[in-house]
Structure 1
Amino acid sequence: MVHRAEAHRRRRRVRDVPLTELGIDHWLDQIPCLAGQARRVDDLPGGLTNHNYRVRTATHDVVVRISPASTDLLAVNREHEWLNSRAAAAAGVGAPVVDYLPGQGVLVVGFLPGRTYAAGDVAANLVRIAAALRVLHAGPPFASDFDIFDIQRRYWGIVLQRGLRVPDGYAELAPLAVRVEAVLRRFPEPRVPCHNDLLAANFLDDGGNIRIVDYEYSGTNEASFELGNLVNESQLDRDHLAELVEAYYGRVDDRLLARAELWGLAGRYAWTLWGAIQHGVSDVDHDFWEFAMERYEPAAALFTSARLGRLLEAAGDGGEAA
């Protein structure tokens, strides 16, 4: 087993030689609109699965996203990301797509000015966020599907195959996750183009309409997942969830709230393994174990609470889908 300090030094060495030793200029020279031009390149912080750069030339101001091969383990399909990013841009929610290098994990989108959100900004702008989501969900269809339960099973297979560490007690919760899945699948809601990974940092606000970026996990899904997952990722509470559900649907009831909360629970259960895998394989300088535990601990608490039964009963009501 590699000692933690040595693992950290290895991660730093990889980051000190950007983009598998080729360097950013190698990649920029492959992009037609940027090749052969004087360029200003700024590293953009915050990417957990890729390296992001703002690149400015006399004619372009773009963000270049370059992804390592290891993201294939995380259920990221770069071609689908490209296609879905184009659909989101056409809907008026995402950044314009400028270029894409197939098979190389390089996506180029227009730079959007504006303020990147933190969790407090999400809490203060739920009505505006709901409006942006309704536009995205009513927009052009996405090229892929997204199923958090299938992703969790895929992640679990990777964990077992590679012998990766997971939080204590994780496997014992599997039968409860099966119950949640059965209830949510019993009365499915319409599937729409969803982002599926609405961390606060994926919202941009220039004072007009809120824009949404980073479509790595985008795909057709139930809107209830989008809402529950969004609230969880900013660590908001059930009152915030009720506000978001009402803003999105124009009404709020026990069934809508329960489905959103259960989808959010399923997300936390799966994203725990995302963090565990990243903890084992990523060269990004980030505490992925903390990421995993931030999702696992509230998921385990809800799975083992009496509240779970009440949510399952409310969500299992076969009333008319929203």
Structure 2
Amino acid sequence: MKSCVLALFDSCLKAVKSNGFAEGRLPAELMKLLVSLAETWGDVIDMGNLKVEQLKGAMTNEVFKISWPMKNQDSRRTVLVRLYGEGVELFFNRDEEIQTFECMSKHGYGPRLLGHFPGGRVEEFIHARTLSADDLGNPALSALIADKMREFHKLDMAGPKHIGLWDRMRNWLTEAKRLCSEEHLKEFCLDELDNELEKLENEFKVKQEIGFCHNDLQYGNIMIDENTRSITLIDYEYASYNPVAYDIANHFCEMAADYHTETPHILDYNKYPGLEERLQFVRAYQSHAGHKPTESEVEQLANETEKYALASHLFWGLWGVISEHVNSIDFDYLEYARQRFQQYRLRKPQLIGI
């Protein structure tokens, strides 16, 4: 049996090279895990037919779709492989993220965890369509996303249930100051952000609903089964308890992005949803499980959400500054950060006037 595994492992490496990957592009630990999974399923005929496809749009990790022939069938086994990005420990605790993933998987949310290895993990490949940037402007799809988001926010996850947003941003600000040049320290006014964060946190010190938030609900983290019209939210690296208004606001901000263009870092705030679109989304969100919200409830949450867009801009602005120094993915993180900070300063006087 051991010699069989080694033979399959050798053929895996040859297959990876034949698909255009440099030697060592996929870690040896990953290849061993794939061979082990294939043997468990008993469906591999020829690992020389291994196919590896890198999926675009990821900015924290590198994501691959990997498939091979199934035994006695004219179809292929497909898994998703996630190679963790460099420096991600500055953004979140990877052990906690894996625990969240496992918990979500056990409760039937998102893909199943098939295994992990140093530097990454293997997940179930969901045979559903990942949304595109244009999909977020579709009212029918938007209502489905709102309903699924409400369901997500109601999850009872292990661990503390207090707001994590502000402490996380303060930690990121410390790292951003440590990493960036004097030039960028001044350009992004990082020395002023301690006061900005304090003012924002005080602005939101009112009674607000806290839920388990995704915190990164861009279109690439939303999938739809075209047959059942069911929505699946994936990728929980940044998930934590937060004000639900913040999570909705972050989703609205992501409507300005298209990460599958020649310039994925460029944001178009003309695509930011207008008032009626925001009200429709909040109404669909609050209508989950048959609830009938009043117009007052809808307007109140919509107003809170619009203010929390400011926090989203600072959150991802700081993320961009740090990522520029720790991540090698081909993405202009600094220009992305520049646009988020600019949007913060543009919208702040209109929304909170401080």
Query: What's the TM-score, normalizing by structure 1?
Result: 0.80
1:30-45 matched pairs, under 5 angstroms? 30-31=32-33, 32-34=36-38, 38=47, 39-45=50-56
Deviations 1:37-82 (A, max 9, x none): 6232221112111111111234542111011341112x22222222
Query: Residue 248 of structure 1 aligns with which residue?
Result: 285
Deviations 1:242-293 (A, max 9, x none): 2221111133444312221222211211210110111222111111122212
1:142 Cα deviation (Å)? Answer: 4.8
Larger Rg: 2
Q: 1:181 aligns with which of 182, 187, 201?
A: 201
| 1:52–1:63 Cα contact (<8 Å) kept | yes
The share of aligned pairs that are identical, in percent, is 23
Query: Residue 320 of structure 1 aligns with which residue?
Result: none
| 1:50–1:68 Cα contact (<8 Å) kept | yes
Query: Residue 200 of structure 1 aligns with which residue?
Result: 219
Q: Give the CA RMSD over aligned residues.
A: 2.6
For structure 1, the 5+ residue unaligned runs are 1-15, 313-322
Query: Residue 236 of structure 2 aligns with which residue?
Result: 215
Query: Residue 11 of structure 1 aligns with which residue?
Result: none
| 1:149–1:270 Cα contact (<8 Å) kept | no
Residue identity in the other structure for 1:204: M
Residue identity in the other structure for 1:89: S
1:223-302 matched pairs, under 5 angstroms? 223-235=244-256, 236-239=272-275, 240-250=277-287, 251=293, 252-302=297-347
| 1:276–1:292 Cα contact (<8 Å) kept | yes
Cα distance change of structure 1 residues 177 and 139 upon mapping to structure 2, 3 Å threshold:
closer
CA distance in 1, matches of 2:178, 2:193: 20
1:91-130 matched pairs, under 5 angstroms? 91-101=107-117, 104-124=118-138, 125-130=141-146
Residue identity in the other structure for 2:222: F
Q: Paired residues, what number?
A: 288
Deviations 1:199-245 (A, max 9, x none): 11111122121111111101222221111111011122242322221
Q: 2:168 aligns with which of 145, 148, 151?
A: 151
Residue identity in the other structure for 2:195: P
Cα distance change of structure 1 residues 307 and 161 upon mapping to structure 2, 3 Å threshold:
closer
CA distance in 2, matches of 1:173, 1:29: 44
| 2:317–2:340 Cα contact (<8 Å) kept | yes
| 1:84–1:143 Cα contact (<8 Å) kept | no
Q: 2:93 aligns with which of 77, 86, 93?
A: 77
Query: What's the TM-score, normalizing by structure 2?
Result: 0.73
Q: 1:160 aligns with which of 177, 182, 198?
A: 177
Q: Higher relative contact order by CA 8 Å / sep ≥ 6: 1 or 2?
A: 1
For structure 2, the 5+ residue unaligned runs are 1-19, 71-76, 257-271, 288-292
Cα distance change of structure 1 residues 163 and 184 upon mapping to structure 2, 3 Å threshold:
same
CA distance in 2, matches of 1:76, 1:30: 27
CA distance in 2, matches of 1:136, 1:222: 13
Cα distance change of structure 1 residues 238 and 180 upon mapping to structure 2, 3 Å threshold:
farther
Cα distance change of structure 1 residues 205 and 276 upon mapping to structure 2, 3 Å threshold:
same
Cα distance change of structure 1 residues 69 and 279 upon mapping to structure 2, 3 Å threshold:
closer
| 1:268–1:296 Cα contact (<8 Å) kept | yes
CA distance in 2, matches of 1:72, 1:202: 20
| 1:93–1:135 Cα contact (<8 Å) kept | no
Deviations 1:180-209 (A, max 9, x none): 2113233242x3222111111111122121
CA distance in 2, matches of 1:168, 1:160: 10
Cα distance change of structure 1 residues 119 and 29 upon mapping to structure 2, 3 Å threshold:
closer
Query: Aligned to 2:87, what secondary structure does the other structure show?
Result: helix
Out of 29-38 and 275-284, give the one that drifted further: 29-38
| 2:224–2:231 Cα contact (<8 Å) kept | yes
Query: Aligned to 1:99, what secondary structure does the other structure show?
Result: strand
